[in-house]
Amino acid sequence: FPVTIDERKVLVSYTTPVAVRVGDDLFVTNERFSNTTTKHINLYLREMPSTVVVNRVGQSVIETLSK
């Protein structure tokens, strides 16, 4: 489930941040995690409005944005 930090919404699966939304930009990890985490990400992506731009980035970018 997404957690709000300042103006960012961070999707956390278990204890790992895997996606961060900043306005209409969504940054999603390109690292492969468990099947459950993949399902969490896919469900989150389906909830996004069409105006959101999805960017696949390295996990280090997600870690930096989620702090």
pLDDT of residue 62: 97
pLDDT of residue 5: 86
pLDDT of residue 57: 98
| pTM score of the predicted model | 0.91
pLDDT of residue 36: 94
pLDDT per position as a tens digit, 4-55: 988 999 999 999 999 999 999 999 999 999 999 999 999 999 999 999 999 9
As to burial, measured by CB atoms within 10 angstroms (0-12 exposed, 13-18 middle, 19+ buried), residue 45 is middle
Among 27, 25, 14, which residue's Cα sits nearest to residue 63? Answer: 27
pLDDT of residue 51: 95
